[in-house]
Amino acid sequence: MKHDSSLADTQPFRQKRSWQWLLYLLAGLALVAALAWATLDVVRQAPSRDTTADLGPYGLITIRFSTDPNPPLPTGTVTLRFMPMDSRQRPVALDGLSFEYGREGSDRPASSGEAQLMSDGSGMYMGGAQFPEVGNWWVRVRLAKGGQQAEARFRLYVEPAQ
């Protein structure tokens, strides 16, 4: 039998290109973006913030800071809560806890106050603040115990009232 080379396909066989991989890639990127967005939103709305202050012979004190409402609003009084704790997460009794707050970008305080120890035995200190404008603010806390003093600073974002 004679082989007719004119009938033979001279091009090698190519599979059709599948665009399915692109669809999977886009779906994966969308999922990663959604997770990142959700994580950032949770972090932004986190109800408490922690930092440490060195009270010399009393050691490092962790201060947990939270606001009510959270996030703070520019209308009404915002309750500031401070919970000083030792390394074992036990409340620390202080001689005093004062605070001042101001707009981010300026070191000049807009106002200040003295936080009062709650009478419920929780070790929490509370004070009030009024943030007249939406934006980034700082809160500086001063701790006093047995003649020692320490300072800590927190940042927060005041959101528009709904």
Q: Are 141 and 65 in contact (CB under 8 A)?
A: yes
- Domain spans of the chain, in order of start: 47-158
Q: Please state which architecture CATH assigns to domain 47-158.
A: Sandwich (2.60)
DSSP 130: -
Distance CA 21, CA 7 (A): 35
What radius of gyration, in Å, describes the C-alpha atoms of the chain? 29
pLDDT tens digits along 51-84: 999 999 999 999 999 999 888 899 889 999 999 9
Residue 150 confidence (pLDDT): 94
pTM of the full predicted structure?
0.70
Residue with tokens 């927190």: 154
Tell me how far apart the 2 most distant CA atoms of the chain are, in Å. Answer: 110
Q: What is the pLDDT of residues 102-121, one digit of tens each?
A: 999 988 999 999 999 999 98
